[in-house]
């Protein structure tokens, strides 16, 4: 398969006004402002093949949203090359938007006070979708996302889970080849999260839709993607498969101690994940400190009520990457 998405040497900066405290400084800023340059993206390069599902992760302020906006054609980079399905997004916006669907978990593309079906009709007009194609897509999406009971309900009256399912449908009415998902399960209950994930997997399997997923929920990443790209401070720090990362982290173990007494002193080779009176959670690198040695040293200092040992979770694995790259 060829590359559906190709970014090469993308740089993006923003000029922001310096804010200084004090009433006098605020008055002075009305007349003359000082600016500083914030570098949001620095030499960002990656490729995504047609039909691939990729998790694009990083802490807040890392550059995820800026990258997505460049790929959508909303922002123009300072330099670098970006091709989405053979087009430059910010130069061919009208053609480009017909090939992409976008869902932002904290923003809506539905009109707030009108029934969902009326929002869908407006979206059909915006994208100039053929009537028969629209009806066919709406029928299929209504069945897959279980929307029959909410189509005539105003958006403002929907639950968060219902609204997110409607947002997904709205982004797919025009048959996009690429779907950008920004925090698609934020705030959803467990049942709604599972429904959204199952739909995205089915969409990718049956239609071959390319999916770029940005999220802080590692269960989304585990359920949907095989590849993750880690960005931090505007730079791509890691690009690899989830399996490889798990293999790399498989030796690390998490030990949870529930105990009585003062906080114990820890041997080297342990990273503290959580520390509070009566509970200690540590991550162990067995090559530096065997699990048995860590347990022996802690139990020698305090009365241990309970101990559990487990492999590293996806959240802990990513948190470890953040610490490793100091982001």
Domains and CATH numbers, the chain: 3-246 (3.40.50.300), 251-311 (3.30.70.250)
> What whole-number percentage of the chain has pLDDT above 70?
93
The candidate with the shortest Cα–Cα distance to 6, out of 112, 100, 82, 113, is 82
pLDDT at 176: 95
Residue 3, SS3? strand
More confident of the two residues 294 and 114: 114
Quote the pLDDT of residue 112.
Answer: 94
Q: What is the pLDDT of residue 248?
A: 65
Lowest mean pLDDT, pick from 31-40, 67-76, 95-104, 229-238: 31-40
Rounded Cα gap, residues 261 and 280, in angstroms: 12
| pLDDT score of 149 | 94
Q: What percent of the chain has pLDDT over 90?
A: 60
When pLDDT is averaged across residues 281-307 and rounded to a whole number, the result is: 86
Of 41 and 266, more confident: 41
Write down the pLDDT at residue 29.
65
Average pLDDT, integer, range 193-219: 91
278 φψ region: left (φ > 0), alpha (ψ -120 to 50), beta (else) = left
Please tell me which residue, 286 or 150, carries the higher pLDDT value: 150
Query: Quick one: pLDDT at residue 186?
Result: 84
Predicted pLDDT of residue 16: 86
**Cα dist from 309 to 125, 254, 256, 289, whole Å:** 57, 6, 7, 14
* Sheet with 79-84: strands ordered across: 35-49, 3-17, 79-84
pLDDT digits (tens, 9 = 90+) for 51-96: 999 999 998 889 999 999 999 999 999 999 999 999 999 999 999 9
Given this model, what pLDDT does residue 219 score? 84
Please give the order of strands across the beta sheet that includes 235-241. Answer: 100-104, 178-182, 210-214, 53-57, 227-232, 235-241
Tell me what pLDDT residue 269 has: 79
Q: What are phi and psi of 4, to 5 degrees?
A: -80, -35
Q: Which two tokens stand for residue 32?
A: 């003359």
| 17 pLDDT above the threshold of 70 | yes
10 Å Cβ neighbour count for 323? 11
Choose among 16, 53, 5, 64: nearest CA to 207. 53
Mean pLDDT of 108-123: 95
Left if phi > 0, otherwise alpha if psi is -120 to 50, otherwise beta: which for 58? Answer: left
Q: What is the largest CA-CA distance in the chain?
A: 74
Asked if 16 and 61 touch (Cβ cutoff 8 Å), the reply is no
What pLDDT is attached to residue 195? 87
Nearest to 168 by CA among 135, 200, 193: 200
Q: Are 182 and 68 in contact (CB under 8 A)?
A: yes
Residue 153: the pLDDT is 97
Q: What is the pLDDT of residue 249?
A: 62
Distance CA 320, CA 165 (A): 33
Torsion angle of the four alpha carbons 267, 268, 274, 276, in this order, in degrees rounded to the nearest 10: 40
The whole-chain average pLDDT of the chain stands at 89
Q: Is residue 2 scored above 90 in pLDDT? A: no
Confidence at residue 25, expressed as pLDDT on a 0 to 100 scale: 67
* Mean pLDDT confidence for 306-315: 78
């Amino acid at each position: 398969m060829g590359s559906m998405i190709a970014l090469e040497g993308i740089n993006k900066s923003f000029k922001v006004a310096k804010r200084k405290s004090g009433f006098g400084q605020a008055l002075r800023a009305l007349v003359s402002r000082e600016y500083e340059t914030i570098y949001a993206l620095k030499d960002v390069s990656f490729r995504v093949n047609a039909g691939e599902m990729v998790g694009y992760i990083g802490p807040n302020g890392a550059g995820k949203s800026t990258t997505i906006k460049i790929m959508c054609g909303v922002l123009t980079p300072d330099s670098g090359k970006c091709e989405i399905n053979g087009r430059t997004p910010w130069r061919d916006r009208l053609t480009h938007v017909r090939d992409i669907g976008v869902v932002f978990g904290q923003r809506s593309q539905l009109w707030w006070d009108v029934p969902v079906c009326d929002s869908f009709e407006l979206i059909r007009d915006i994208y100039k979708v053929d009537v028969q194609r629209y009806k066919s897509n709406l029928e299929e999406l209504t069945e897959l996302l279980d929307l029959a009971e909410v189509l005539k309900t105003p958006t403002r009256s929907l639950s968060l889970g219902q609204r997110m399912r409607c947002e997904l449908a709205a982004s797919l009415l025009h048959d996009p080849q690429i779907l950008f998902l920004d925090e698609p399960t934020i705030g959803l209950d467990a049942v709604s999260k599972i429904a959204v994930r199952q739909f995205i997997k089915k969409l990718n399997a049956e239609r071959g839709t390319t999916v770029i997923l940005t999220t802080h929920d590692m269960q989304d990443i585990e359920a949907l993607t095989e590849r993750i790209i880690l960005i931090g401070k505007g730079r791509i720090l890691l690009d690899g498969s989830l399996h490889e990362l798990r293999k790399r982290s498989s030796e690390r173990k998490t030990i949870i101690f529930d105990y009585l007494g003062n906080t114990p002193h820890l041997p080297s080779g342990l990273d503290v994940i959580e520390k509070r009176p009566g509970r200690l959670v540590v991550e162990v690198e067995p090559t530096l400190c065997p699990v048995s040695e860590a347990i022996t040293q802690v139990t020698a200092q305090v009365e241990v009520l309970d101990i559990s040992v487990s492999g590293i979770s996806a959240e802990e694995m990513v948190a470890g990457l953040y610490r490793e790259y100091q982001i």
